């Protein structure tokens, strides 16, 4: 068994010019001597000014995370001139201090405008967009044909079994989502089957997402217009909407706050909360139709009623025009 020999540092570097005691003598060539003298001078000046040669890695680590959004490790290594092993130790948290020069090299690289087409990025955004299109009735086969990939891959991304996706495919999914998110799929048996599948899995439709949050892994879909509150929990329950974690947490907190109440009073408050949530959606849809009937746009109507446009659209769908309103 042979041991791999570590390659010599390149000429014109401090490591080659300074050598390694007991392992490698200093290189006497002019580029190496110049690099050694420059580095020693810089260290001497920094020491006289009271600046430590090594600094906390937090600032460089934060910048590395920004670079990783649009750059691969090989691209970062080429741009910074830093060793890949050192960058990996830094990003893993095993190296908490780095040379000031290393920090300067990392901070000098600006983040790219967008990732390269072949770079793998987090699949949160494309997964949510595919799920939203399914909630509108678009099948995996239809989506795959439109963006030029396999139906199996579409299902793997939508089901969450593929955690990262190449940016080129992410971009095509986003373009198709922007094109179809305002239009339900054509009527048919396939549409009904796909919508049922999406509903059974709790997949949110496009109106539940905002363009600014759909790619954020920490964001949750706004399925009720008041998610994260006890009213949101009742709206989920009354309208058979798949429950979201913020509403589950809010309802559990609501129950815990009233755990000391007598049973009769507790049931009375539960009934009031349920009734308030049941009536709110219908009243909101009624008020919105009156505003829309007077020429007010959907954005302005939502602003006047104090809700988001997505929530107002959802309530209009949940509470269609009643026969009494049509007669009036």
91-133 per-position pLDDT tens digit = 888 888 888 888 888 888 888 767 777 888 889 999 999 999 9
How many other CB atoms are there within 10 angstroms of residue 322's CB atom?
Answer: 12
Q: Which two tokens stand for residue 316?
A: 């209009």
Q: Is the pLDDT reported for residue 84 higher than 60? A: yes
CA–CA distances in Å: residue 123 to residues 159, 198, 231, 310: 11, 18, 31, 23
DSSP 166: E
CB 67 within 8 A of CB 78: no
- Please tell me the pTM assigned to this model: 0.58
Phi, psi dihedrals of residue 122, rounded to the nearest 5°: -60, 140
Bridge partners for 120 per DSSP? 166
Dump pLDDT digits (tens) for 301-326: 877 777 777 777 877 877 676 544 44
Name all contacts of 103-107 with Cβ < 8 Å and 24+ positions apart. 103/55, 103/57, 103/59, 103/60, 105/80, 105/81, 106/60, 106/63, 106/64, 106/67, 106/80, 106/82, 107/59, 107/60, 107/63
Looking at per-residue pLDDT, the higher value among 159 and 311 belongs to 159
Q: Which two tokens stand for residue 249?
A: 């947490």
Q: Which of 71-85, 119-133, 256-270, 302-316 is modeled with the greatest confidence?
A: 119-133
Coil, strand or helix: which one is 212? coil
Please classify residue 138 by burial: count the beta carbons closer than 10 Å to its beta carbon, then call 0-12 exposed, 13-18 middle and 19+ buried.
buried
User: How far is residue 132's CA from residue 71's CA, in Å, rounded to a whole number?
Assistant: 28
Please give the pLDDT value at position 279: 65
With CA atoms as reference, report the closest residue to 315 among 298, 295, 294: 298
- What residue segments make up the domains of the chain, in order of their start? 14-43+53-107, 120-208, 230-327
User: How far is residue 66's CA from residue 78's CA, in Å, rounded to a whole number?
Assistant: 16
Least confident stretch, 31-35, 203-207, 232-236, 323-327? 323-327
Cα dihedral: 130, 132, 138, 141 (round 10): 10
Please state the length of the chain. 328
Dump pLDDT digits (tens) for 149-158: 999 999 999 9
How many other CB atoms are there within 10 angstroms of residue 223's CB atom?
Answer: 26
Q: 100: Cβ–Cβ under 8 A, 6 or more apart, which residues?
A: 46, 51, 52, 53, 54, 55
Please classify residue 126 by burial: count the beta carbons closer than 10 Å to its beta carbon, then call 0-12 exposed, 13-18 middle and 19+ buried.
buried
């Amino acid at each position: 068994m042979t041991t791999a020999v570590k390659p010599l540092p390149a000429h014109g570097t401090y490591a080659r010019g300074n050598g390694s005691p007991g392992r490698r003598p200093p290189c006497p060539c002019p580029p190496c001597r110049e690099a050694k003298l420059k580095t020693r001078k810089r260290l001497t000046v920094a020491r006289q000014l009271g600046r430590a040669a090594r600094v906390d890695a937090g600032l460089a680590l934060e910048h590395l995370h920004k670079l990783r959004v649009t750059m691969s490790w090989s691209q970062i290594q080429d741009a910074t001139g830093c060793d890949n092993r050192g960058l990996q130790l830094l990003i893993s948290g095993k190296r908490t201090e780095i040379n000031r020069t290393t920090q300067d090299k990392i901070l000098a690289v600006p983040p790219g405008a967008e990732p390269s087409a072949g770079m793998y990025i987090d699949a949160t955004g494309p997964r949510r967009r595919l799920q939203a299109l399914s909630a509108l009735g678009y099948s995996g086969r239809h989506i795959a044909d439109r963006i030029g990939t396999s139906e199996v891959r579409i299902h793997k991304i939508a089901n969450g079994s593929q955690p990262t996706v190449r940016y080129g495919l992410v971009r095509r999914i986003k373009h198709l989502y922007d094109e179809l998110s305002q239009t339900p799929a054509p009527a048919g048996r396939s549409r009904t089957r796909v919508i049922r599948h999406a509903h059974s899995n709790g997949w949110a439709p496009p109106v539940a997402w905002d363009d600014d949050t759909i790619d954020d892994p920490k964001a949750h879909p706004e399925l009720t217009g008041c998610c994260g509150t006890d009213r949101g929990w009742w709206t989920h329950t009354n309208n058979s909407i798949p429950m979201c974690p913020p509403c589950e947490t809010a309802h559990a907190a609501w129950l815990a706050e009233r755990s000391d109440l007598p049973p009769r009073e507790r049931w009375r408050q539960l009934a009031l909360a349920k009734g308030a949530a049941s009536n709110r959606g219908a009243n909101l849809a009624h008020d919105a139709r009156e505003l829309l009937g007077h020429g007010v746009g959907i954005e302005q109507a939502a602003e006047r009623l104090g809700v988001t446009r997505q929530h107002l659209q959802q309530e209009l769908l949940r509470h269609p025009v009643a026969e009494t309103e049509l007669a009036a």
